[in-house]
Amino acid sequence: MLGETKTYLFQITIPSVQKFISSSRKSADLWAGSFMVSWLMKKLLEIAIKDYKAELIYPVININKENEDKLIANIPNIAIFIVRYINENKAEEIKKDLEKNFEKLLNDIAEFGTDKLCQEELIFKDEIENRALKIEIDCLFDSNEKTNYVDLAKYQIKETLKLFVEYLELKDINDYKETSEDLANLINYQKKSQLPDIEYIENYKLVKLPQSWDKWENWEKFYENGLKKEIISKKDRKEEIENLEYLQGVYRCSSCGEHIIIGATLKDWKGNTIWKPLWEANPKYFSRGERLCGVCLAKRYFREYIQEKYKIKTEDLGFPSTSEIGATLFKKEILKILKNKKDDKLEEFLLNLGQFFNLGDTKGNYVKKFSEELKDINPELKSFVEGLLNIDGEWFLEDTWKNKNDYEVIGADDKKANQMLKTLKEIYKYLENKGVEKHYKPSEYYAVIML
């Protein structure tokens, strides 16, 4: 005889997401942090619904809806659902399966980010033949070192994003409020009881604590009584320190400050071998001075991860950069004027821009609502105006054309940079004289407020 079907109330939570999202240096990272949490929750709920016929209570959303919603971070970091089964073993199986899949997803994201970094091309100058050489970062390290970076990245993201899955039997629908409160309290208790993983140390690679750890009460005593004495005794004799890898001297991530950077070695603790040439080879992706950990690398490359996962075109997964948000009002004012009447000065401005950018073929991630307004623009100017929108907002900031490292990226020299700076100042003055409010002028500070 079959037993009575029982109803189990589940709650799944990814806690402490605010810090994970906000520890970002680029708007792309902010987007990635928010989207990643939402995407992870969605994947877990898809498993619960498809494999275990879960009935979603919160959030109120159709998880299996195959439309543009898959590109929107519309699922919070908490979800509640019910399942109906005869025995409690099935509920425990669901919990374990969700935890296992969460870890698998994190590993996949971390490995993708590290692999992408290793595939980046660096440019070195061949002094003998006087030509530029392009090599992938992969070529600078052996397979063991790359494995070390992947393992470190996986550990870092696992220590950053946690999943808590708990369930209680819902004996009566009238008990829902009380049961859900008990479930929330259980989750909170689990979060507070979570202890950090002290079996490993983050270094240029993931280091397992040595066996000598066992005879010391804690890490501090191991350092004071073991490692420190070894360093002092061998330093003057310039002998090799056997346990050097246990010292936490490697650079921390310049974005989050929480984890050790990817790309360091025992001899190159700053990771200069890859990071310095990377700033030169890919300045749009990595700012000068940046050295990232596995978590922040995963965020930096998450857009590409999603593109490959869903076969999405770049323009369909666009999001405005911080500087683009700051230039939104500037572009909006130009659109507004050109929609109403012919304006020789603004048309001349667009032609001048054409000296630096191919306005008819420029791809970018502008604020998409502007697309609707393009239909009212003179057809002869439409491709130029669309090019204006596609140019990232950083090129309308005066500071960009004052910084050689910035304008050299598009092949501009000092003369062209000064010419563009003069053109921008003239158009700002022109808009000001037309009575346009001063907040039209592109500003990164405005962008920060809007974010």
**354, part of any domain:** yes
- Residue 1 has a pLDDT of 41
Q: Report pLDDT for 394.
A: 76
Token couple for 81: 């659902």
Residue 414, in any domain of the structure: yes
Q: Is residue 303 part of a domain?
A: no
For 225-275, write each residue's pLDDT tens digit: 555 555 555 555 544 445 554 554 568 898 888 899 999 887 788 888 889
Higher pLDDT, 395 or 44: 44
157 within a domain of the structure (yes/no):
no
Q: Provide the domain limits for residue 368.
A: 322-440
User: For residue 358, is pLDDT > 80?
Assistant: no
Q: What is the dihedral of CA 364, 366, 368, 370, to 10 degrees?
A: -120
Q: 26-35, 81-90, 361-370, 386-395: lowest mean pLDDT where?
A: 361-370
Number of domains, the chain: 1
In a domain, 191, yes or no: no
Q: In which residue are the tokens 């409690």 written? A: 88
* Residue 167: closest CA among 55, 53, 7: 7
Judge whether 102 lies within some domain. Answer: no
Residue 26 lies in a domain: no
Q: How many C-beta atoms lie closer than 10 Å to residue 349's C-beta?
A: 20
Residues in the chain, total: 451
**Is 77 within 8 Å of 164 (Cβ atoms)?**
no
- At 414, which helix (H) or strand (E)? helix 414-433
pLDDT digits (tens, 9 = 90+) for 285-309: 888 889 999 999 999 999 899 888 8
- Per residue in 49-106, pLDDT (tens digit) is 999 999 999 887 776 655 445 556 678 899 999 999 877 789 999 999 999 999 999 9
* Res 24: pLDDT: 73
Give how far Cα 401 sits from Cα of 280, 322, 323, 333, 393, Å.
18, 17, 14, 22, 12
400 in a structural domain: yes
Cα R_g (the chain), whole angstroms: 27
To the nearest whole percent, how much of the chain has pLDDT over 70? Answer: 71
Q: Which two tokens stand for residue 368?
A: 């998409």
CB 53 within 8 A of CB 7: no
Q: Is the pTM of this model over 0.85?
A: no
Is the predicted pLDDT of residue 9 greater than 80, yes or no?
A: yes
Q: What is the pLDDT of residue 51?
A: 94
